[in-house]
Amino acid sequence: MIFWADKIDLKSLDLQLEKHLSRVCSRNTNNESKNKPKGDWEINPSMLKIRYLVAQGTYGTVYRGTYNTQDVAVKLLDWGEDGMSTAAKSAALGVSFKQEVSIWHKLDHPNVTRFVGASMGTSLFEIPLKNPLEGYTTLPSRACCVLVEFLTGGTLRNFLYKNRKKKLALRIVIQLALYLSRGLSYLQSKKIVHRDVKAENMLLDNNRTLKIANFGSC
């Protein structure tokens, strides 16, 4: 049997092949998702409502939201957003992410931010744009999110900056130092080393109680 090359629509064949591969990949991904055991830290995406942007950080973007009536801070992490991350690097970061949240959700201390849950994918979330009137967007499925209690006092860095022109009372300074040392001591007792101890990773509640946040890539 002989085929004439100029009679074959190669572009059409490419499109058909691409559609077929897309269906196969989608089916495999769905099967893997169904068969993959969930961690007890994983959230139910349908119960999360992301309300508005709070801050843009080095490792992700923070939003305020609600999860099952709880007031939460939602930190979104997209390791491939710079277009430079390889599949292997993203996979390694995903493994590290799982390890960190599986430890964090077991922590319970008044000077460590209370962990609510996490998700290995964000494609089901509606994420508000900077201008609320512009509606919502989504992130790639590779992105992850972490939910922690929302603390209204902001960061220790902002608190110190606001009070830079006046001398803080010694009792306040000592109390903040005690909160920090107690939190770090607790982490050390759990054999956890916080890799980024700085004022902007320390949060305050409305009673000025300091809580440690942002572990590793989270």
The active-site residue out of 6, 40, 71, 196 is 196
Of 195, 187, 152, which Cα lies nearest the Cα of 59?
195
Cα–Cα distances in Å, from 8 out to 5, 14, 17?
6, 11, 14
Short-list 210, 206, 207, 214, CA closest to 152:
206
Structure tokens at 25: 């990949």
DSSP one-letter code for 214: -
In the annotation, is 14 catalytic? Answer: no
The answer to whether residues 193 and 145 touch, using CB atoms and an 8 Å cutoff, is: no
* Enzyme catalytic residues: 196
